Structure 1
Amino acid sequence: MARHVTVRTGTRAVVTVDGLVVAVLDPGRHRLPGRRSRRAVEVVDVRENLLLITSQEAAALDVPGVRFAIAVRLRTVDPVAFGTVSQSPLDDVRLSAQVAARDWIAARTLQDVLTERAGATADLTAGVAAGVARFGVEVLEVALRDVTVPGEVRRGLLELAVARHESAARLERARGETAALRALANGTRALQDNPALLQLRTVQAAVERGGQVVLHVGEVAG
């Protein structure tokens, strides 16, 4: 192995001698410490990375089989921890994001899942970031993507929405009919209690139809 190494931009080089980390090299050309036979160099990419987790499924509070994907933006901030704490740190990030997303969906109705996407991003990012920081990874964002439900569930939801709309319409019609009957009953009682109102209403109806009204006035006794 050469005594010098050139570290490219966007990477770091972790140098070990006899299995122990002795240096983390930034971009540039560096002279390597230790004997070649006892030295190892591992290059770690520290650029921002996108981890896309597809074909996920979870049950919401009111709907089973919610399908979704998860997009995780992350980067390595501690090359030593990234290479030593876990055998597969990206798999650990993937698992943490899957569990967090399923738990988040399971605690909400489908409507909330669809309308609280911004809140989901904030909640999932904070939760996943805290859980995987020890692997030398900084999680920048965890977002739900492509949230859908199976076709049969969509049809069921549509039928439910139609049924609710028709039920509300029937209820509104019933309320209108009840109000009309109540008004008619009140009017009937008023006419029964005041016969003069019936005569007045008769005169009013005749005038509205253009009829002629003849009033008979009795003689006044002398």
Structure 2
Amino acid sequence: MVRYHQGALVGVLPAGRHRRRWGASDVPVDLRRSWIRVAPQEIPSSDGIHVKVSAAVLHSVGDPVAYLELTDDPRATVYLAAQVALREALAGLTADELVQRQSVLPVRAMVEAVRSVAATVGVEVHEIVVKDVVLPPEIRSAALDLATAQKRAQVQLEAARAETAALRAQANAAKLLDDHPALAQLRLIQSAPCGTKLVIQVGDTASLTEAASTD
């Protein structure tokens, strides 16, 4: 609460109840933190792509007297300072760097730039958050095509790996059956469908034929 007496500043009153004398007027000032939302700004990146960037400024009143007396709209002053800081801080980045905002955006430099201007109108800036980075439609379409192609290539690579593993397993199985004929016969019996009539021959065919002619 800022008190004036007959138009002259008396001072800033602390929280609580106060007597008001004749000719005095009190102007309430909200000291709570609040956000100023900066509308999307079209910023040309260093690689020539115009990107729309929006932000929000967390602020509070630091000097109630300056907040009331130095300008008729201190929030507009902070808003304009945030616009300028966004443009100056982000114009030197590429479009890819703007999209990867957490790691490369110079947020600290933006905060300091806006804070120095806001302090002149009694406002304290606590934080600046870059909300949205919107690329042109053709860039978004190209990025989607690239991501789709990469995913498709990954699927094809995994399919090729699975096919290679299957062929390798079949080759190992064929070699095992060649080395063990009895295992091959057992595998053949196991693969026969239910109801199949099997003729099992014990011993060598040639030996059996020679024995039969001798008799």
> Is the shorter-chain TM-score for this pair beyond 0.5, marking a shared fold?
yes
Q: Please give the per-residue CA displacement for 1:25-79, whole angstroms capped at 9, x wherever unaligned.
A: 111111124x2xx322110000001111123211111143211211100000111
Residue 25 of structure 1 corresponds to which residue in structure 2?
Answer: 13
Is the CA contact 1:124–1:143 (under 8 Å) kept in the aligned structure 2?
no
Three-state SS of the structure 2 residue aligned to 1:44 is coil
Superimposed CA distance per residue, residues 68-93 of structure 1 (whole angstroms, 9 cap, x where no aligned partner): 21110000011100000111000000
1:79 pairs with one of 64, 80, 83 = 64
Normalised TM-score (structure 1):
0.61
| Residues 58 and 102 in structure 1, CA contact (< 8 A), matched pair in contact too | yes
Give 3-state SS (helix, strand or coil) of 1:108's partner. coil
Query: Which of residues 80, 83, 86 in structure 2 aligns to 1:95?
Result: 80
Matched with 2:49 is 64
Distance 1:117 1:85 in 2: 35
Partners of 2:94 and 2:136 lie apart in 1 by 15
The answer as to whether partners of 2:35 and 2:58 remain within 8 angstroms in 1 is yes
Q: Does the alignment pair 1:146 with 2:132?
A: yes
SS in 1 for 2:27: strand
Partner of 2:160: none
Q: Which of 1 and 2 has higher RCO (CA within 8 Å, sep 6+)?
A: 2
* CA-based RMSD: 2.1
Q: Structure 2 residue aligned with 1:131, among 104, 113, 117? A: 117
- After superposition, the C-alpha distances for 1:163-192 in whole angstroms (9 at most, x for unaligned) are xx9xxxxxxxxxxxxxxxxxxxxxxxxxxx
* Matched ranges for 1:1-222 at <5 A: 13-33=1-21, 35=22, 38-117=23-102, 119-156=105-142
- Secondary structure at 2:106 match in 1: helix
Q: In 1, distance between residues paired with 2:32 and 2:144?
A: 45
| Deviation of the 1:23 alpha carbon | 2.1
Give 1:115 shift: 2.7
**Which residue type is aligned with residue 28 of structure 2?**
V
Q: Does the 8 Å CA contact 2:51/2:135 hold for their aligned counterparts?
A: yes
Ranges of 4+ aligned residues in structure 1 off by more than 6 Å? none
Query: For structure 2, which runs of at least 5 residues remain unmatched after alignment?
Result: 151-215
Consecutive unaligned residues of structure 1, counting only runs of 5 or more, are 1-12, 166-222
TM-score, structure 2 as length reference: 0.62
